[in-house]
Structure 1
Amino acid sequence: MADSVTDRFLRYVVFDTQSDAKSPSQPSTMKQKDLGRLLVEEMLAIGITDAHLDEHGYIYGTIPATTSKNNVPVICFCAHMDTAPDFSGTNVKPQIVKNYQGGDIQLTGDKSQVIRVSEHPVLKDQIGNDIITSDGTTLLGADDKAGIAEIMSAAEFFINNPDVRHGAIRILFTTDEEIGRGVDKVDLAKLGADFGYTLDGETAGTIEDETFSADAVEIAIKGVAMHPGFAYGKMENAIKIAGGIVARLPKEMTPETTKGRDGFIHPTGMTGVMEKANLSFIIRDFTEEGLKTKETLLEEITRQVIADYPGSTYTFTVKEQYRNMKVVLDQHPGIVDYAVEAISRAGMTPVRGSIRGGTDGSRLSFMGLPCANLFAGGHAFHSPLEFVSSQDMELAVKTVVELAKLWEERA
């Protein structure tokens, strides 16, 4: 399986599939469909006869059941095609460190980029593995083309081994996950699954049933514009007001100072001129209460700053993004329990984790498709230091196979 999943992965990462939050279309970039068309061709070639790409860039396909039981749940395996806008995904040149024997990995295209063991201690668990990186000038795209390659390899295994008993399996590949729109247009009726698993996690052996809850906040500031030569006592510069808000954010409540189950307030954008300015934030916490507390704090900071500018006004707009999928998954414990057993069957020690972020599964769970997140094996996502090993991708393929077998056995 390792060669098969690695070959697929190397084929997929050379496609530039970055999404674009500024684009109003779905998919946000048409180049995501380039990979989509290849995937449909490959799915049809291995025998997934209903594979197709819809107008939104989603791919649907079915692996028919091989069991005579009629009560086996329909499982969906899901991964996303887009890569993050955070770092270039153009002209990816994957490199393979065969039989890694330890130590830092200097990337060949930009020698200032080094994957250091001190910063990525998971490398200590990769001795003897074949590690795939970019050349350091782009991200790699393991997030989430590793997940796609793993699902595709498992699909081919199922098609070629009809003696392996499983229920019907649905495949869903999405667009625009990295910009929070991954499942906006998914047709759950057409998908027809009872529950699902995204393959979008990191370390081999991990099953994640909890994500952040997430909101976005937009603060629009209207200042008082005035010619600077005649501004005394009159000008209220909206840029300075915006800067004052950012300066007062608690240092202990930022992404760079939080970990584990701590949430944060994160400014993601600032634009402005003297008359008006806009601030964009994302708010993250594992609980609804934590979200509301942070949003209340941010608005209080805004009020305090703008109190010094009596001629200025602001608006404070909160937009819900996604919610902690654990609320839903706790009602369907078998989804996680079977994943834990499948990971064990595939030869790993299962680790249950929480995601300091979100996945398509977060939204799918609240849309009516309870969905946990499985490891895909990648590390250092959204950066030129991203890497994944062939062996960890192979373990993910085995986990998918064991999961499908388990649900059939226990039905």
Structure 2
Amino acid sequence: MTDTILDRFLRYVVIDTQSNPLSGAQPSTEKQKDLGRLLEKELQAMGLADAHLDEHGNVYATIPATSDKTVPVICFCSHMDTAPDFTGTHVKPQLVKNYQGGDIVLPGDQNQVIRVSDNPELKNQIGHDIVTTDGTTLLGADDKAGIAEIMTAAQFLLDHPEIKRGAVKILFTTDEEIGRGADKVDLKKLGAAFGYTLDGSTVGEIENETFSADAVDIEISGVAIHPGTAKGRMENAIRIASAIIARLPKDMAPETTEGRQGFIHPTGITGAMEGAKIGFIIRDFEVDGLHQKEKLLEEITRSVMQDYPGSSHSFKVHEQYRNMKMVLDQHPEVVDNLSEAVRRVGLTPKLTSIRGGTDGSRLSFMGLPCPNIYTGGHAYHSPLEWVSVQDMEISARTIVELVKVWEERAA
């Protein structure tokens, strides 16, 4: 196989794999399996006989060991779905060869402009080949760049059996963008001791920390009365829900926080006079901070409800995921080996935190410690998404070097 990383990436992004949060199935959309079936065939064509797509849409494969040492089995993982935030149908990738700076106007919708002022990393891309969309869809670099990088590294390792390595597992998941990426992963079948997701952004950045995350659902039962005779009797559930949201601290919202600051974020509200529902996500890097925000939200709710004595409510917290750093700190070699691999490709490793989640967070708490490696993609979940071909190549090289480091440092 002579495919370049760009060949692979362009082949993958035109396959529509958007997930659907309203579906209860896994995968949430059958079209994710279209990419899964292609990857299964490509892995088998490389000679990976165990490559297969399971009933949940996950793809598994094993690159066999070439070392006589006992090397921990490591896994590289990326997700096949793209975000439901913006359409991923009929993706038309564009290639800006030998980028020489300046804003990039997208041809399908010239109101869509990738501006240097909004994307300062473009200043480091002079001479690179930049892939964008035409401005009417997502690109899907999140996370098809990661898939192309894993596939390219896998082919390189297979073409160079002289590179000593332990067994390497490959895992491609579904539904990561809707928080279900690890739900149906069979870790026993996978058989890895440690893992790495390829789902990051700027090259050189190692993401070893995520938010801890919960969801909160508030249901309100109001008092519905004909509005003509409502004085002193009606308790409109819509107004109650609105009052709760109005009392949220303005400095504790996604749009007013950054860095290590957490937030309380209403994600949906539905209702009528007799009943209303509000959905929230709560985020903080510390579990204590998460619980404090939930306590604050509950106090606000109770305070509002005191003004409506005929109404009632329920307040339910659902755990989503936890900060993977709590697990990774117990296995420092996972990040240490990655940092060495980053140095070997000529970059300075930079530990960073994700203001969000990743399959790696769930997998870490399932028993597979799993930090996040850069893919080179930027401006995810928007039609302004872009990725450098050269940065994707660096990511693939990082995978190869990481495999070497694990073998060299094995007892």
Whether the aligned pair in 2 keeps the contact of 1:2 and 1:393 (CA below 8 Å) is no
| Equivalent residues in 2 for 1:193-342, closer than 5 Å | 193-342=192-341
Report the CA distance between 1:62 and its aligned residue: 0.3
The answer as to whether partners of 1:2 and 1:390 remain within 8 angstroms in 2 is no
Deviations 1:26-71 (A, max 9, x none): 11110100110000011111111110000000000000001111x1
Q: Does 1:6 align with 2:9?
A: no
Looking at structure 1, the residues matched to 24 and 285 of structure 2 have their Cα atoms a distance apart, in angstroms, of: 29
- Which residue identity does 1:385 align to in structure 2? L
Aligned counterpart, 2:399? 400
Aligned: 1:410 with 2:409: yes
What SS is found at the alignment partner of 1:401? helix
Identity %: 71
4+ aligned runs moved over 6 Å, structure 1: none
CA distance in 2, matches of 1:324, 1:302: 27
* C-alpha deviation, 1:299, in angstroms: 0.9
Rounded to whole Å, the distance in 2 between the matches of 1:300 and 1:245 is: 10
Counterpart of 1:105, as a letter, is: I
How many residues are aligned here?
A: 410
Indicate conservation of the 8 Å contact 1:217/1:281, yes or no.
yes
Offset of residue 160 of structure 1 = 1.0
Contact residue 2 and residue 391 of structure 1 kept, 8 A: no
Q: Deviations over 1:360-393 (max 9, x none)?
A: 0101111011111100111111111111010000
Which residue in the other structure is 2:63 paired with?
A: 63
Matches within 5 A, 1:159-198: 159-198=158-197
Instruction: State the alpha-carbon separation in 2 of the partners of residues 348 and 229 from structure 1.
Output: 71
CA distance in 1, matches of 2:2, 2:100: 19
C-alpha distance in 2, partners of 1:300/1:108? 50
Distance 2:15 2:236 in 1: 45
| Superposition deviation, residue 2 in structure 1 | 11
Cα distance per residue 1:331-373 (max 9 Å; x no partner): 1101101111101111212111111111101011110111111
Deviations 1:7-39 (A, max 9, x none): 101100111111111111111110100110000
Q: Which residue of 2 aligns with 1:38?
A: 38
Alignment of 1:101-140 (within 5 A): 101-140=100-139
Q: Secondary structure at the match of 2:378?
A: coil
Q: Counterpart of 1:17?
A: 17
Task: Give the unaligned 5+ runs of structure 2.
Answer: none
Residue 157 of structure 2 is aligned to residue 158 of structure 1: yes
Letter paired with 1:125:
N
Alpha-carbon distance in structure 2 between the residues aligned to 1:407 and 1:2: 27
Alpha-carbon distance in 2 for matches of 1:116, 1:277: 41
Task: Provide the rounded CA distance (Å) in 2 between the counterparts of 1:359 and 1:311.
Answer: 43
1:76 corresponds to which letter in structure 2? C
TM-fit CA distance, 1:112: 1.0
TM-score w.r.t. the length of structure 2 is 0.98
Residue 349 of structure 2 corresponds to: 350
- Compare 348-357 and 389-398 and name the one that shifted more: 348-357
The one-letter code matched in structure 2 to 1:381 is Y
Cα distance, 1:168–1:78 mapped onto 2, change above 3 Å: same
User: Offset of 1:303 from its aligned partner?
Assistant: 1.2
**RMSD of aligned C-alpha atoms?**
1.1
SS at match of 1:163: coil
Q: Relative to structure 1, is the Cα distance of residues 341 and 38 closer, same or farther in structure 2, using a 3 angstrom cutoff?
A: same
Report the equivalent of 1:381. 380
Asked if 2 retains the 8 angstrom alpha-carbon contact of 1:2 and 1:394, the reply is no
Deviations 1:313-332 (A, max 9, x none): 11000000000000110011
**Secondary structure of residue in 2 paired with 1:371:** coil
Q: Within 2, Cα distance between the matches of 1:227 and 1:165? A: 78
- Kindly provide the amino acid, as one letter, of the partner of residue 252 in structure 2: M
Distance in 1 (CA, whole Å) between partners of 2:130 and 2:222 is: 53
Write the distance in 2 (CA, Å) between the matches of 1:127 and 1:305. 55
Name the CA distance, whole Å, in 1 between partners of 2:269 and 2:62. Answer: 45
Q: Deviations over 1:59-99 (max 9, x none)?
A: 00000001111x10000000000011111111111111111
Gap regions ≥5 residues in structure 1:
none
Q: CA deviation at 1:3?
A: 6.8
Q: Secondary structure at the match of 2:162?
A: coil
Give per-residue Cα distances to partners, 1:110-129, cap 9 Å, x unaligned.
11111111111111111111
1:249 Cα deviation after fit: 1.1
